[in-house]
Amino acid sequence: MILAYGTNQHSWRVSDSGPDIESSMVAKHLGVDIGVQGRNLIKPREAKMIGSARAYAHTIMGCTRWGLDRSLTASKLWECCAVPQFLYGTEAMVISKTTVKELEKIQHTVASFILQLPLSASQVMGWMDAGLKPIRMRLNERSILFAHCLVANKKDNLSKAVAQATLSDRTDPWTKRIMSIQTELGITDLTQVTRANLKRRIMSSQIAKLRVIKQSHSSLKWLWEPEKWFKLNPQTNDSEECAALNQFRAGDAGLGNRRPNHLGLSYKQCPWCRAHGVSSKLDEQHVLLDCPGTGFTRFSTGVKAFQDARLAMMSKEQIMKEYLGGMDPV
């Protein structure tokens, strides 16, 4: 069966010599209803996706809050149970930007839970430290791999011919989406690339995008790149020490410089330094490496020795980044 516009069109052919294919305005893909009437072909499905994702997020955060390591458990449950369910069948759909944005917000709540970060922290933390792929990347990967399977790997000639005919129609919404992804990846012909090469291109493209986004966030200047992208960082756990580390790395340690702190107070300048007649910008680097008010703690925990051993070789920002986990790979 093939989806087609028009109530008078009951059959469809790939070519004049090809067999008749039943035509319909409503059909199922992997059990998911898809229609070609109205402005939004899959609006009911999108609403279910958002509801399902939100329900999974609340359940995962509820059942992993106590007991086993919540970071690893929540990460596995989200990737293995939630994502496959609410993105089921989306490879054959064109998901709206509004739905993608809403799903990204829901995933961010899970990432913040995994990393013990406030919801005000950048979504980049979830993509880089929690290892959760952006929703748009997940959708693009599913769609382009599905299209590649249809035109390059299908042994059924009829299915392959239908796919090629669909992709040759530049007015089709799904075809437009596939063409956009191909352009982004620098691919002109899907039949000329392997599935493995396609996956590598998707990964490289998304990493390049995330690097640009990260550079645009001043709060993430101490965040270092993961050794393995889109994998939960091995040092992440549910300890208080890890929570403090993640909050400093995210530039959102609740100091009151980006949003009111736990006392409801906001500061642009360090209150301790200001009380002693010194004007110093308040941020995580100042608290960890410079502020006299934390001098004893800096000395007793070895931070000062760590800093002194590197001052002649690197800037304080580089020292901060290395102390919080390591330097970006060159």
pLDDT digits 0-9 by tens, 114-162: 999 999 999 999 999 999 999 999 999 999 999 999 888 767 777 777 7
Check residue 36 and give its pLDDT: 47
- The arithmetic mean of pLDDT across residues 88-92, rounded, is 90
pTM: 0.83
- The arithmetic mean of pLDDT across residues 71-97, rounded, is 93
Distance CA 150, CA 168 (A): 13
| Residue of 209, 212, 247, 207 lying closest to 227 (CA atoms) | 207
* Percent of the chain with pLDDT strictly greater than 90: 60
* In a domain? residue 318: yes
| 3-state SS assignment for residue 24 | strand
* In a domain? residue 294: yes
Q: Which residues, 6 or more positions from 81, have their beta carbon under 8 angstroms from its beta carbon?
A: 56, 60
- The arithmetic mean of pLDDT across residues 106-118, rounded, is 96
**Domains: count for the chain:** 1
Check residue 15 and give its pLDDT: 56
- The arithmetic mean of pLDDT across residues 299-323, rounded, is 92
Q: Which residues, 6 or more positions from 135, have their beta carbon under 8 angstroms from its beta carbon?
A: 100, 103, 104, 107
Q: Label residue 3 exposed, middle or buried (CB < 10 Å: 0-12, 13-18, 19+).
A: middle
* In a domain? residue 168: no
> Is pLDDT above 80 for 107?
yes
* In a domain? residue 286: yes
* In a domain? residue 310: yes
- The arithmetic mean of pLDDT across residues 196-216, rounded, is 94
> Is pLDDT above 50 for 5?
no
Check residue 157 and give its pLDDT: 76
* In a domain? residue 267: yes
* In a domain? residue 273: yes
Distance CA 37, CA 34 (A): 9
| 122: Cα within 13 Å, side-chain hemisphere | 24
> Is pLDDT above 50 for 6?
no
Domain holding 259, by residue range, is: 254-323
Q: Which two tokens stand for residue 71?
A: 């970071």
> Is pLDDT above 70 for 13?
no
Check residue 39 and give its pLDDT: 42
> Between 220 and 42, whose confidence is greater?
220
* In a domain? residue 304: yes
Check residue 224 and give its pLDDT: 87
Distance CA 129, CA 226 (A): 7
